[in-house]
Chain A
Amino acid sequence: MMLLRLITWPYVRRHRLRTLLTTAGIVLGVAVFVGMRTANESVLLAFRQTIDRIAGKAELQVAAGEGGLPEDVLERVQAMPEVRAAVPVIEAAVGTNLASEGNVLVLAVDMTGDRSLRDYDLESGDEAVIDDPLVFLAQPDSLIVTREFAARNGLAIGSTVPMRTMEGEKRFTVRGIMKSGGLTQAFGGNLAVMDVYAAQMVFGRGRTFDRVDLALSEGVGLERGRLAIGARLGPGYQVEPPASRGRQIDSVLRVYSFTADMNSAFALFIGMFIIYNAFSIAVTERRREIGILRALGASRARIRALFLAESGIAGLAGSLAGLALGVLLSKGLALYISGLIAGVYGIAERTTEIATEPWLMAAGLLMGVATSLAAGWIPARNAARVDPIQALQKGRYQTLSAGENRVRRAAALALGGASLALLLFAKGWTVLFYAGYICAALALLLVSPTVSLWLTKALRPPLRRLRPVEGALAADSLIQAPRRTSATVTALMLSLSLVIAMGGVARAVYDSIMGWTRTTLNPDLFVTATQNLTERTFRFPESLGDQLEEVEGVEEIQRVRTHRIVYEGSPIMLVAVEAKSMGDRVRRPPVEGPGDMYERAARGEGVILSDNFARLRGLHAGGSIELDTPSGPRRVAVLGLVVDWTDQTGVVLIDRASYVRWWRDDTVNVFRVYVKNGARPQEVRQRIVERFAGAHRLFVLTNREVAAWIAGLTDQWMSLAYAQIAIAVFVAILGIVNTLTVSIIDRRRELGVLQAVGGTRGQVRRTVWMEALAIGTVGLALGLGVGAVTLNYVLEMSQRDVTGLALPYTFPWGTAALLVPLILASAFVAALWPAESAVRGSLVEALEYE
């Protein structure tokens, strides 16, 4: 403690900016981790809370994926001896035209029985509504809203609320206002209750409910009841406690969460290099101080403890600041993520509160401190090994010893060889594949100091040719301080390799999605019940298709029904299409399977799977899968595999006739419309809108609009990852500032001499700038190279364990070309302040500087 006060504190005070830059790495790493995680947790919490609050006293919920339950299922459930009460529910996130309210969650229930499960504690309203639910039923435009919603929108009993329904915009009358508490907090308070039978009509549910909520009879345990009801209903139905819906959303968001975690880990890893670099530099700078302490009797252990304590304190301070920043960031991120999952997965959510989980805060703190301690370990060990006699002599001791370099190179060579062997011969074994990746990563980290030294030496002649004095001094400064240089270059290399890997994945995803959009989403028009293709709140009756076919200029209509089902415990997307027609129209070769697989699917011989779904489950054309349907389990043949981006969780393409028969659902989400040769899609679109406007809620999107929407969604998906990467790059640039600041201090005398013998300020500045540009160039060269390797592994990992998508390896030349000026410019900007500090100081002091 005494040493911290006497030795560390004055050093920190002398180097405030550097201390700040050092901790900035941890601050940002922890902030990204905590911010992303908190935002994710907040979104999931909001979803779970909405489920919990809406569930009321319901112990179990019966559903058949998103396909809906026929009305007779309700009667069957109600008749079961294990069930005390069972009520139907429809849930829909519906747009209102109320200013700044966005969506409202409509909970449609049967008021006659629902009050046994949910408490509608009304504070005001038509007494008849409260006392007699039949009055509520008799008026299908009745709506009960929450006090908060009513207050925000100035609503009172008798006010009307406009909502966009399947029958166009309809006005609903407020006939009750609920007191605050429990149920009313669901969906951020934007909740409205209406009659379930009215909802069937206005939301296009036909004669189905979304689910049945139930309470068990007295004495029936949850698990016993669940199994008994499941057995009576048969396969195809999910009987689960309400909380399990939360688990499903976790599963849906798995890919997203995985990406976010990977990026956070990367940011922290890069932060670790910054700290390692800063402490290595501190040890070098303070060798004399350490020598004096050792000469005065401080033990090696004490010196090590001193430096570890410093890194621990830096980690603690950085982590605390990171936690605060992370929580601040999380609010904005949560809103962004809500929007993203609504767009990508079609799951509407309203996140109003930030879930600052104590475990997450503790984990962030622990990670920050642990990262800092891990980064400080080697410098602390080096400090402890300082020889007091050498340290008290003048001179530099930065050079890596030949022995150290040899050991590093040998280890890198062995690990590199091992990774190559594993990649070539043991790719099929998951454990060995990951072991190969770890070997490759370690080999690259070990070899990066040597390679960065080689590259810097190679840069010396061209730099010298460019500027004989400044160029040579800049390169020499880097060559003479390999530890300082290599840690910064490694941090830059890591962040750039992440950019290249992500850029490569983005490029491959874009190409694949756009290829799929061109070949599979090739109708001229899409008629949807919602503004995009992923939302499944509203559905059309099948008969609308016949009416659409009558519109002038329409050649062919394809009816598409998408809904999420549960396959082996995980949610996947079922896409019911008119397979024959689809096969005729879609111009995309299958990944696996015969050319006539669509015709065979149309004959009901089996299903077609998306390649990602098949790959993650080891399925192939010629195999079979079992689907639980409301009409019983169906073992169906796998006819082939295709690329399909409809949903990340995987897609099962089934012929519509089989779907209607097995799921007893003939509704439609999207009509794919092909116009006749010579007809103009815009004109056909206009005719459709004119004919159905007012009678139906429908949106007609052109092929180009759908492609643009998909591209926008992909951009949105990628942009969050890019934002995180930008932070990682920023952290790496902080490393450059740090390195240059220290380099200036190290070379104060040298730069003083340069000025004393006639070097102008401009020349000194140029020396520092060229040093920064050299770091940037070496970091770029290594980052692009390592990025090329990382991309290969990321694609492979994604294919194996995350998305199952087989994406082609394409090096992102565009991203690389963008990075060159960006990083060189950033390095230059990072050098501006250090360069100024180099020329502003006292020349006399610089010449006397030891």
Chain B
Amino acid sequence: MITLSGVTKAFNGRRTVIALDRVDLSIGRGEMVSVVGASGSGKSTLLNLIGALDRPTSGWVEIDGRRLDGLRDDELTRVRRDTIGFIFQFFNLLPTLSCLENVALPLHLRGWARKKAADRARELLGLVRLGARADHLPDELSGGERQRVAIARALAIYPPILLADEPTGNLDSSTGDEILALVGDLHQRLQATVVIVTHDRHVAEICPRTITLRDGRIVGDERR
């Protein structure tokens, strides 16, 4: 489902920083994988490359059988739109849109009819147990609720790949557990490939497979 071959990502500033160094990785369809490592180990960079948010300096990334290195920006956007759902640490909900509108956003971007998009968004909000909060603005929700809205938005198109960047990093431990249980449940029910970036060992251990990064290299790949 996801393949990285010899992927290097360098950031050029006053001095060049190698965030990922010749990484080879393969993640199968329906796997649930956690990526762990210290700050600056390259976890988020890896997620950004898998999520087609960024391009590698060298090497290539393949998503669902399609290599990303030759694609133009709008083609990358389409890959994201049709294949990937994102869950961010800081939720990244649009503050001016209601929960329903936030969840329906990717559907509108795909050109869905208003009613159809709203119906799907309502269904997804029900899935994350926020049906009653559909018309609320993000500011009116708790942190856990916001993350659930973000998860609903990530699932809007039932993407085959779900990427989560520190999904519990901004939540207290009980809310975090609740979110992880939800992600695990959705993974089971939707059979999506899930990649969770975290520095929390407890979160990592929930996943059947854990990849450990250090200084931009994979130093561990543990399956349970």
Chain A residues in the interface with B (C-beta under 8 A): 396, 468-469, 472-473, 476-477, 479-480, 749-750, 752-763, 839, 842-844, 847
Chain A, residue nearest B114 (CB): A468
Q: Are A758 and B88 within 8 A (Cβ)? A: no
B74 CB contacts on chain A under 8 angstroms: 760-762
Across the interface, do B81 and A757 meet the contact criterion of CB distance under 8 Å? yes
A472 lies within 8 A of B86 (CB): no
- In the complex formed, the residue of A with least CB distance to B96 is A476
CA distance A756 to B74 in the complex (A): 12
Contacts of B117 in A (CB 8 A): 468
**Which chain A residues border B153 with CB–CB below 8 Å?**
757
Instruction: Report if A472-B101 is in contact (Cβ < 8 Å); known contacts: A757-B153, A842-B54.
Output: yes
Q: Contact partner of B96 among A473, A755, A757, CB < 8 A? A: A473
Q: How far does the alpha carbon of A759 sit from the alpha carbon of B76 in the complex, in Å?
A: 11
B105 at the interface (CB under 8 A from A): yes
* B57 at interface, CB cutoff 8 A: no
Give the residues in chain A near B104, CB-CB below 8 Å.
Answer: 468
A763-B53 contact, Cβ under 8 Å, with A472-B101, A844-B48, A847-B88: no
Given contacts A468-B114, A473-B96, contact A757 B106 (CB under 8 A): yes
Cβ contacts under 8 Å, B106 to chain A: 757-758
Q: Give the interface SS of chain A, mostly helix, strand, loop or mixed.
A: helix
The CA of A749 and the CA of B86, in the complex, are separated in Å by 14
CB atoms of A473 and B109 under 8 A apart: no
Q: Chain B residue with minimal CB distance to A842?
A: B54
**B108 interface hit (Cβ, 8 Å):** yes
Q: How many angstroms between the C-alpha atoms of A53 and B81 in the bound complex?
A: 81
Tell whether B5 is near chain A: CB-to-CB under 8 Å: no
B51 at the interface (CB under 8 A from A): yes
Q: Are B53 and A468 in contact (CB under 8 A)?
A: no
In the complex, what distance in Å separates the CA atom of A525 from the CA atom of B153?
80
Pairs of residues from A and B, 9 with the lowest C-beta to C-beta distance, nearest first: A758-B81, A476-B96, A469-B108, A468-B108, A753-B92, A757-B106, A758-B109, A843-B53, A758-B106
Give the complex CA separation of A722 and B53 in angstroms.
49
Assembled-state Cα–Cα distance A759/B92 (Å): 14
Shortest B99–chain A CB gap in Å is: 14
Q: Which of B78, B101, B104, B156 has the most CB of A within 10 A?
A: B101
What are 5 A-B residue pairs whose CB atoms fall within 8 Å in the complex? A758-B110, A760-B77, A762-B74, A842-B54, A847-B53
Closest chain A residue to B53, Cβ basis = A843
**Would B51 and A759 count as touching, CB distance under 8 A?**
no
Contact A761 B92 (CB under 8 A): no
Q: CB-CB < 8 A to A476: which residues of B?
A: 94, 96-97
- B110 touching A761, Cβ below 8 Å: no
A843-B53, A847-B88, A847-B92 known; A761+B48 contact, CB < 8 A: no
Q: B residues near A, CB below 8 A? A: 48, 51, 53-54, 73-74, 77-78, 80-82, 86, 88, 92-97, 101, 104-106, 108-110, 114, 117, 153-154, 156-157
**A472, A479, A757, A761: residue with the most chain B Cβ atoms closer than 10 Å:** A757
Chain A residues, Cβ within 8 Å of B80: 755-758
Cβ of A24 to closest chain B Cβ, rounded Å: 30
Q: Which residues of A contact B109 (CB under 8 A)?
A: 469, 754, 757-760, 763
CB pair A757–B53 under 8 Å, yes or no, is no
Within the complex, the shortest CB–CB distance from B62 to chain A, in Å, comes to 20
Q: In the complex where A749-B92, A842-B54 touch, is A757 in contact with B86 (Cβ < 8 A)? A: yes
**Nearest chain B CB to A456 CB, angstrom units:** 12
Across the two chains, which residue of chain A brings its CB closest to B92? A753
For residue A477, which residues in chain B have a CB less than 8 angstroms away from its CB? 96
Measured between alpha carbons, how far is A761 from B105 in the docked complex, in Å? Answer: 15
Q: Provide the residues of chain A in CB contact with B54, threshold 8 Å.
A: 842-844
A468 contact set on B, CB distance < 8 A? 104, 108, 114, 117
| Interfacial chain A residues near B108, Cβ < 8 Å | 468-469
- Chain B CB count within 10 A is highest, among A758, A759, A843, A844, for A758
Beta-carbon contact of A754 and B105 below 8 Å: yes
B118: nearest chain-A partner, CB-CB: A468
Contact A755 B105 (CB under 8 A): no
**A756 and B53 contacting across the interface, CB-CB below 8 Å:** yes
- CB-CB under 8 A from A755, the residues of chain B are 77, 80
In the complex the two chains form, what is the Cα distance from A396 to B96 in whole Å? 12
> How far is the CB of A426 from the nearest CB of chain B, in Å?
46
Contact A761 B101 (CB under 8 A): no
CA distance A755 to B153 in the complex (A): 13
| B106 vs chain A, min Cβ distance (A) | 5
The CA of A752 and the CA of B88, in the complex, are separated in Å by: 12
Residue among B73, B104, B108 with most chain A CB within 10 A: B108
Q: How far is the CB of B23 from chain A (nearest CB, A)?
A: 17
Q: In this complex, what residue of B is CB-closest to A757?
A: B106
Q: Which of A473, A762, A844 contacts B94 (CB 8 A)?
A: A473
CA distance A477 to B94 in the complex (A): 11
**Contact between A469 and B92 (Cβ–Cβ < 8 Å)?**
no
The answer to whether A757 and B97 touch (CB under 8 A), given A844-B53, A847-B53, is: no
Chain A's nearest CB lies how many Å from the CB of B141?
A: 15
Residues in A whose Cβ lies below 8 Å from that of B81: 757-760
Expressed in whole angstroms, the minimum distance between the Cβ of B121 and any Cβ of chain A is 12
Cβ-neighbour of A756 out of B51, B97, B110, B114 (below 8 A): B51
In the bound complex, CA of A484 to CA of B201 (Å):
45
A479 to B105, Cβ gap below 8 A?
Answer: no
A479 contact set on B, CB distance < 8 A: 96
Q: What residues of chain A lie closer than 8 Å to B105, measured between beta carbons? A: 469, 754, 757
A346 to B92, CA, bound (A): 70
Most A-side CB within 10 Å, residue of B77, B82, B104, B156: B77
Q: Which residues of B contact A760 (CB under 8 A)?
A: 74, 77-78, 81, 109
- Give the distance to chain B from A581, nearest Cβ to Cβ, in Å: 75
Q: 6 extra interchain contacts, Cβ-Cβ under 8 A, other than A758-B80, A843-B54?
A: A468-B104, A753-B93, A756-B92, A757-B106, A758-B110, A760-B74
Q: Which chain B positions have C-beta within 8 A of A752?
A: 92
With the chains together, A763 CA to B106 CA distance in Å? Answer: 12
Query: Are the C-beta atoms of A761 and B51 separated by less than 8 Å?
Result: no
- Least Cβ–Cβ distance between B95 and chain A, in angstroms: 8
**Within the assembled complex, what's the spacing in Å between the Cα atoms of A667 and B57?**
92
Bound Cα distance from A405 to B164, whole angstroms: 42
